[in-house]
Every structure is written in C-alpha cells, then in structure tokens.
Structure 1
Amino acid sequence: MAKLLSMKAVSERVGYSESKLYAMIREGEFPPGRKLATGGVRWLESDVDDWIMHAYEQAPEARLRLA
C-alpha cells in the first residue's frame, strides 16, 4: 500500500523548507504532489524516495563513493 506524505513530512524528509520545495516544483525540479478528492495535496513516499536517490546519485561526492 502506498504511503502518502504531507508537505511538512516531505520537507522534513528531504531537508528543504516548504517554500524551497514549492519553488523546485514550479521549476520542474521536484515531483508535484497529487491532489486528493478531499482537496488536499500529498506526495507518494516512493516518489520522494526516488527523488532523494536520484539527487544522491547526481551529487559529485556520491559519484566518488560509487566508483
């Protein structure tokens, strides 16, 4: 079962402020949330985890460790 995260939980998980994340979403640099029928927005935990892994793999220091 997919776990849904609030913006606050996403912010805490990735270590960026909510305003930074919203700016990244507008720029296409972070996955947008999914609108719920109740009117709220949530992020799939798997989408956030995939973004974290991709960001880690793109970091120069990560490439050194993976080599």
Structure 2
Amino acid sequence: MAVQFQSALAILRRKQVEARTGLSRSTIYDRVKAGTFPAPVSLGAKAVGWIESEIDAWLTAQIRKSREVA
C-alpha cells in the first residue's frame, strides 16, 4: 500500500512576495498581467496571496535562466 504525502500549502502575502523576489508591487502586477509571474489567489473581498510553491518554482526558473550559457 503506497503512502502519499502532500506538502502543506502556504500562502504568501504581497510584502512577503516582494521580499522573496526583490520585485516591486507594480512589477509583480505587471508580470502577472503579462503572464510571466504566478497569479495571486483571492483570500477575501480585498485580500490576495500567492501560493508559496509557485513563487519558489518561479524563483528556481529565474535562477536557471540566469545561469544558462548564451
């Protein structure tokens, strides 16, 4: 019988996303609109957050792109 583990989901608020990525608020939303950054999820009427694993994956992809040999 296989045991499946699911990692706990974590939500990051905008200030946390800014701190982790080094991007400003306007840049985050510009990139979301362009489809080059993970979209936020609604947490309520006036609150959004980003799924931590999606931000981690985006950061990993950015690092890979920057390390590619041209």
Scaled by the length of structure 1, the TM-score of the pair is 0.83
Q: Deviation of residue 27 (structure 1)? A: 0.7
**Greater percentage in helix:** 1
1:2-61 residue CA offsets vs partner (Å, 9 max, x unmatched): 11000111011000101111111111110100112x2211101100000000111111xx
Q: 1:42 aligns with which of 43, 46, 49?
A: 49
| Alpha-carbon distance in 2 for matches of 1:8, 1:45 | 13
Cross-structure match for 2:5: none
Larger radius of gyration: 2
Q: 1:24 aligns with which of 22, 28, 31?
A: 31
Structure 2 residue runs of 5 or longer lacking an equivalent are 1-7
**What percentage of residue pairs aligned between the two structures are identical?**
30
Structure 1 residue runs of 5 or longer lacking an equivalent are none
Cross-structure match for 1:63: 68
| Alpha-carbon distance in 2 for matches of 1:31, 1:44 | 8
Which amino acid letter does the alignment assign opposite residue 63 of structure 1? Answer: E
